[in-house]
Amino acid sequence: MDVPGESRLGGGGGGNDGGDGSVGVQIRQTRRLPDFLQSVNLKYVKLGYHYLISNLLTLCLFPLAVAISVEASQMNPDDLRQLWIHLQYNLVSIIICSAILVFGLTVYVMTRPRPVYLVDFSCYLPPDHLKAPFTRFMDHSRLTGDFDDSALEFQRKILERSGLGEDTYVPEAMHYVPPRISMAAAREEAEQVMFGALDNLFANTNVNPKDIGILVVNCSLFNPTPSLSAMIVNKYKLRGNIRSYNLGGMGCSAGVIAVDLAKDMLLVHRKTYAVVVSTENITQNWYFGNKKSMLIPNCLFRVGGSAVLLSNKSRDKRRAKYRLVHVVRTHRGADDKAFRCVYQEQDDTGRTGVSLSKDLMAIAGETLKTNITTLGPLVLPISEQILFFMTLVAKKLFNGKVKPYIPDFKLAFEHFCIHAGGRAVIDELEKNLQLSPVHVEASRMTLHRFGNTSSSSIWYELAYIEAKGRMRRGNRVWQIAFGSGFKCNSAIWEALRNVKPSKKSPWEDCIDKYPVKLSY
């Protein structure tokens, strides 16, 4: 923010500044320096506070341990003999306490939740001939003859401001004029995406498909009979007693829901694998009308899908990439406005499409707030939780005049995978969570390279982080996705090793080009 009077000192050709504005710059720097120093001091004060609170128990126990060590070193043989005699007289008590301790430890080990490991995952990379540069997209839209001039201009503006690049993909059927919209074409798209991701996953993990005990598939808009999960069972000849699930109509956050379901099944069924397949189908869900709220998905959604291999086998810990730490799900479907903010319906001419409400971003923000209120106590260090609690108390005491404290989630996570639903979604979360550009880089670059691939976008983002070589042992990843309903779901993973990208990563041939500079 400029200081009043700066423009007069730094501008024009008069005065003692020689016309180059140097005095104005010098004064501006001088006035901003205290603010800068204050921000630096506050930064280190907060880091010191965080370190103190996080290590408070250690700092308190250290003097006690030193005192005990000193006292023990000063004990003479007679003292030790008396201690042994005392223990002999209380042998029965010691045996009972030991038995209780062993029994309690056994019960804990037998009943504690078994860890769920992410062995590996794969994202589908479509062939180059399915790419849809902006010019081809707009030319194709004009040739279909279904869009009026206003609708075409609206789509052009959305594309330019969307954050998508020139290399995103649309399905085969949409490259024809007129588009070949049929059940057969939709099945073909689903098979290409799901089987492409699964073939790569099985090749990278050397897992026999018949060893898969649980299969969860999510696709919001395409639900044929037999189901998508049945198509996978048929293709890979999975075993007859497989527990298969098909999730439909759950929007872009269904990938986290599918992981949560697979986790619950792995906690019940011992020593097995679960595969989660997340995708969306565009072929039969392209909107050919002129209602602007329904045209936005045409400009954002693109072909993509992922396959994830989960395991509850202890021996898989050695080769697994991640361990599932938490899943937190928030559903605001009880609110009518939230329920209808992403809504599939027909327009006045009978054409079906998905309508996006103008209240979408506000509802997403409220749902996010609810989600992180639940997530915060599970992941934030105690220092942040104390600050947050103190702010709430002060807010109650001073009748809401205290500014709410936004927890620093950068202290809990090293990496963020924000659903690449659109530029506005990423911008809003970057601002509200006070993230730096590097924290949202994976989301922005995934949106640029692949577009909105719905529930699989968070896996393309995780693949980007791996391809950049940024994932280190012990790092925590926050996958967060929004979906119709309205839902906000979070999955937290912890890296078990320094993770390298898997073979045939979707970023394998282009990671050196990223990050790219975006201009909207």
Instruction: Render pLDDT for 29-87 as a digit per residue (tens, 0 to 9).
Output: 333 433 433 443 444 444 454 555 555 556 566 676 666 666 666 666 766 666 666 66
* Structure confidence at residue 111 (pLDDT): 62
Model confidence pLDDT, tens digit, residues 276-291 = 999 999 999 999 999 9
User: Does one domain contain both 320 and 282?
Assistant: yes
User: Does one domain contain both 94 and 190?
Assistant: no
What 8-state DSSP symbol labels residue 404? P
- What is the CA angle 324-490-474, rounded to 5? 40
Model confidence pLDDT, tens digit, residues 300-338 = 999 999 999 999 999 999 999 999 999 999 999 999 999
Q: Is 415 a catalytic residue?
A: yes
Q: Of the residues 219, 252, 299, 488, which is catalytic?
A: 252
Residue 14 within a domain: no
Boundary of a domain, candidates 78, 111, 144:
111
Q: What percentage of the chain carries pLDDT values higher than 70?
A: 80
Interatomic CA distance for residues 475 and 493, integer angstroms: 8
Averaged pLDDT score across all residues of the chain: 85
User: Does one domain contain both 346 and 461?
Assistant: yes
In the predicted structure, residue 4 carries a pLDDT above the cut 70:
no
Task: Tell me the pLDDT band of 389, cut-offs 50, 70 and 90.
Answer: confident
CA-based torsion, 374, 378, 380, 381: positive or negative:
positive
Model confidence pLDDT, tens digit, residues 225-260 = 999 999 999 999 999 999 999 999 999 999 999 999
Q: Of the residues 285, 415, 439, 489, which is catalytic?
A: 415
Q: Is 269 a catalytic residue?
A: no
Boundary of a domain, candidates 82, 111, 140:
111
User: Does one domain contain both 134 and 100?
Assistant: no
Task: Tell me the pLDDT band of 20, cut-offs 50, 70 and 90.
Answer: very low
**Coil/strand/helix, residue 492:** strand
Residue 466 within a domain: yes
Q: Which CATH number goes with the domain that contains 293?
A: 3.40.47.10
Cβ atoms of 381 and 411 within 8 Å: the answer is yes
Boundary of a domain, candidates 74, 95, 111:
111
Q: Is 448 a catalytic residue?
A: yes
User: Does one domain contain both 274 and 156?
Assistant: yes
CA torsion angle 512 515 517 520 (round to 10):
130
Residue 23 within a domain: no
User: Does one domain contain both 333 and 217?
Assistant: yes
Q: Of the residues 290, 331, 417, 488, which is catalytic?
A: 331
Q: Of the residues 281, 452, 488, 489, which is catalytic?
A: 452
* Structure confidence at residue 297 (pLDDT): 94
Task: Tell me the pLDDT band of 397, cut-offs 50, 70 and 90.
Answer: confident
Q: Of the residues 419, 439, 488, 489, which is catalytic?
A: 419
User: Does one domain contain both 103 and 126?
Assistant: no
In the predicted structure, residue 110 carries a pLDDT above the cut 80:
no
Residue 519 within a domain: no
Residue 267 within a domain: yes
Q: Is 140 a catalytic residue?
A: no
User: Does one domain contain both 399 and 505?
Assistant: yes
* Structure confidence at residue 300 (pLDDT): 95
Residue 72 within a domain: yes
Q: Is 298 a catalytic residue?
A: no
For the chain, the domain total comes to 2
Residue 254, both tokens: 């269904």
Interatomic CA distance for residues 162 and 295, integer angstroms: 13
Model confidence pLDDT, tens digit, residues 156-210 = 999 999 999 999 999 999 999 889 999 999 999 999 999 999 999 999 999 999 9
User: Does one domain contain both 442 and 312?
Assistant: yes
User: Does one domain contain both 359 and 268?
Assistant: yes
In the predicted structure, residue 21 carries a pLDDT above the cut 50:
no
DSSP one-letter string for 134-156: HHHHHHHHHHH----HHHHHHHH
* Structure confidence at residue 282 (pLDDT): 95
Q: Is the pTM of this model over 0.95?
A: no
Residue 39 within a domain: no
In the predicted structure, residue 2 carries a pLDDT above the cut 50:
no
Range of the domain at 107: 66-111
User: Does one domain contain both 98 and 195?
Assistant: no
Burial status of residue 328 (CB atoms within 10 A of its CB: 0-12, 13-18, 19 or more):
buried
Interatomic CA distance for residues 324 and 114, integer angstroms: 10
User: Does one domain contain both 225 and 193?
Assistant: yes
* Structure confidence at residue 97 (pLDDT): 78
Residue 301 main-chain phi, psi, to 5 deg: -80, 140
Cβ atoms of 165 and 137 within 8 Å: the answer is no
Residue 520 within a domain: no
Q: Is 419 a catalytic residue?
A: yes
Q: 45 or 458, which is more confident?
A: 458
In the predicted structure, residue 404 carries a pLDDT above the cut 80:
no
* Structure confidence at residue 71 (pLDDT): 65
**Mode of pairing for the β-strands spanning 305-311 and 476-483:** unpaired
